[in-house]
């Protein structure tokens, strides 16, 4: 591809990352050995909060009472959308059985994991939507126990809207504990929680590293880095909307890449001219994040045609991918590497982030080249089973014995031999691989 960079990033998500492995490993080890007391010690140090860790029903009710009714209705609307979409996703996986050969039936079952641990960020921004996305999907999947861990603010606790969202979406326990200590508490089953089978939800670099280290001991949704977004736009796109959408995602954090890929130079230049004023108009924290992200991580790429644009996008494998271009069906059919796709001006990543129904916990840092985002399926184990008649096992036993002997696995072969001898005592079988 002969790409022309009208704006080139000076940093990448990888170059901006800190090596936090040793710190996180040490905290996890301390908490596993020290239990509840050590987790509380780290909570006091990092959360600077000494209130009740496991919220009571009365505390949940009190927090919910602080949420304005209009916001409650919006949270319920978003929850309903996510729930319906998750139910539709769950319906795509069913228990099956299939007769492979006469007398041998195999099948699959979709079984939800028992306990899910959902991390909901609450530091710089109160991620109400993360509570909706993680808890709702776990509930629809059929998890028996769902814990939410969210960082409390000093002398305040968890943001009331997060408490309310987690509660109405189906959380069994809500824990006022953030960071590595919150992840550890869910994993190790502290504070009388069941040990989590899976950890889900976004978080800072320390939370992400904790999940990376714990993966294998527990399941995780994905290993996530800074959020990223790419917009594909042609000459039909509205430059003001394109610029606004780029800035809306850059506010996530100082290291959140945003990319514009287009085949129209005039559009690209127009968008680049609009972005600084849109950033300047944001509130201070948002402005500082968006300014740094645009300065250090953003790229504007000029391509020859739409095929080159699509190829460039697939190479970047963005977490969020927006198409503001003609012939949307062509793009839907052509594009193959993204976490979530937003087709046309009438939808936006912000919709998916908050309320439209698809999940906002998505693969970052090119992980969309091999995985999708959080869904009801992430909480489910697809397991298999089989059952056979004696006649149905006959040919399978012969093949198993011979293949096993060729591999040098005599014990496996004899497990087949004894069945043939028992079920068909009057028959002779050549069970050597070179017969």
Judge if 20-92+110-221 and 226-372 fold alike in CATH terms.
Answer: yes
pTM metric for this prediction = 0.94
**Per-position b or e across 183-221, b if 16+ CB within 10 A of its CB:** bbbbbbebbebbebbbbbbbbbbbbbbbbebbeeebbbb
At residue 163, the pLDDT reads: 98
Six-digit token pair at 165?
A: 């969202």
Whether residue 344 contacts residue 236, with contact meaning beta carbons closer than 8 Å, is answered with no
Residue 119 labelled as part of a binding site: yes
CA atoms within 13 A on the CB side of 139: 22
Residue 353 labelled as part of a binding site: yes
* Cα 23 to Cα 16, 19, 205, 374, distances in angstroms: 17, 9, 11, 27
16: left (phi over 0), alpha (psi -120 to 50) or beta: alpha
* Cα 93 to Cα 138, 324, 376, 377, distances in angstroms: 15, 32, 10, 8
- In the set 127, 145, 167, 320, the catalytic residue is 320
Q: What is the pLDDT of residues 12-60, one digit of tens each?
A: 866 656 678 999 999 999 999 999 999 999 999 999 998 999 999 999 9
Residues 62, 48: Cα–Cα separation, whole Å:
21
C-alpha 433: how far from its chain's center?
A: 47
Nearest to 288 by CA among 128, 152, 124, 151: 124
Residue 21 labelled as part of a binding site: no
At residue 2, the pLDDT reads: 81
In this structure, whether the domain defined by 226-372 belongs to CATH 3.40.50.1980 is answered with: yes
Residue 89 labelled as part of a binding site: no
At residue 245, the pLDDT reads: 98
Residue 181 labelled as part of a binding site: yes
Q: Which CATH class is domain 20-92+110-221?
A: alpha beta
Residues 60, 44: Cα–Cα separation, whole Å:
21
Local structure of 99: helix, strand or coil:
strand
CA atoms within 13 A on the CB side of 361: 31
360 flagged as catalytic: no
Nearest to 155 by CA among 173, 129, 176, 175: 176
Residue 326 labelled as part of a binding site: no
- In the set 145, 251, 319, 360, the catalytic residue is 319
Residues 277, 72: Cα–Cα separation, whole Å:
33
Residues 255, 297: Cα–Cα separation, whole Å:
7
Residue ranges for the chain with pLDDT beneath 70: 1, 13-18, 435
Residue 204 labelled as part of a binding site: yes
At residue 15, the pLDDT reads: 61
320 flagged as catalytic: yes
Segments making up each domain of the chain, as ranges? 20-92+110-221, 226-372, 389-434
What is the secondary structure of 320-378 as a DSSP string?
Answer: EEEEESS-HHHHHHH----SEEEESTT--HHHHHHTSSS------TTGGGT-----GGG
At residue 304, the pLDDT reads: 97
Six-digit token pair at 210?
A: 């904790």
């Amino acid at each position: 591809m002969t790409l022309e960079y009208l704006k080139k990033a000076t940093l990448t998500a990888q170059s901006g990352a800190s090596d936090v492995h040793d710190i996180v490993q040490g905290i996890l080890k301390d908490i596993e050995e020290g239990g509840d007391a050590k987790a509380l010690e780290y909570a006091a140090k990092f959360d600077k909060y000494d209130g009740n860790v496991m919220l009571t029903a009365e505390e949940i009710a009190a927090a919910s009472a602080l949420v304005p009714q209009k916001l409650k209705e919006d949270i319920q609307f978003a929850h309903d959308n996510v729930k319906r979409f998750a139910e539709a996703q769950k319906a795509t996986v069913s228990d099956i059985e299939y007769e492979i050969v006469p007398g041998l039936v195999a099948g699959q079952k979709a079984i939800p994991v028992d306990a899910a641990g959902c991390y909901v960020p609450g530091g710089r921004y109160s991620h109400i939507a993360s509570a909706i996305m993680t808890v709702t999907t776990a509930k629809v999947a059929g998890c028996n126990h769902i814990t939410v861990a969210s960082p409390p603010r000093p002398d305040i606790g968890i943001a009331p809207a997060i408490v309310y969202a987690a509660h109405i979406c189906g959380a069994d326990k809500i824990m006022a504990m953030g960071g590595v200590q919150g992840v550890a508490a869910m994993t190790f089953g502290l504070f009388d929680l069941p040990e989590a089978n899976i950890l889900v939800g976004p978080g800072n670099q320390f939370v992400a590293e904790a999940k990376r280290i714990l993966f294998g001991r527990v399941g995780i949704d994905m290993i996530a880095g800074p959020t990223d977004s790419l917009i594909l736009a042609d000459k039909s796109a509205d430059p003001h909307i394109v610029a606004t959408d780029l800035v809306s995602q850059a506010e996530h954090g100082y290291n959140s890449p945003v990319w514009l890929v287009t085949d129209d130079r005039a559009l690209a230049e127009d968008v680049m001219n609009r972005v600084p004023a849109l950033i300047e108009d944001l509130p201070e924290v948002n402005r500082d994040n968006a300014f740094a992200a645009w300065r250090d991580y953003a790229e504007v790429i000029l391509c020859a045609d739409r095929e080159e644009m699509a190829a460039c996008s697939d190479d970047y494998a963005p977490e969020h991918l927006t198409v503001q271009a003609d012939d949307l069906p062509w793009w839907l059919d052509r594009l193959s590497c993204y976490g979530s796709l937003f087709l046309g001006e009438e939808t936006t990543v912000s919709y998916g982030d908050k309320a439209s129904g698809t999940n906002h916990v998505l693969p970052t840092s090119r992980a969309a080249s091999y995985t999708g985002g959080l869904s009801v399926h992430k909480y489910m184990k697809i397991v298999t089973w089989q059952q056979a008649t004696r006649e149905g096992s006959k040919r399978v036993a012969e093949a198993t014995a011979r293949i096993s002997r060729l591999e040098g696995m005599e014990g496996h072969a004899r497990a087949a031999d004894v069945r043939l001898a028992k079920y068909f005592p009057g028959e002779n079988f050549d069970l050597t691989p070179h017969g």
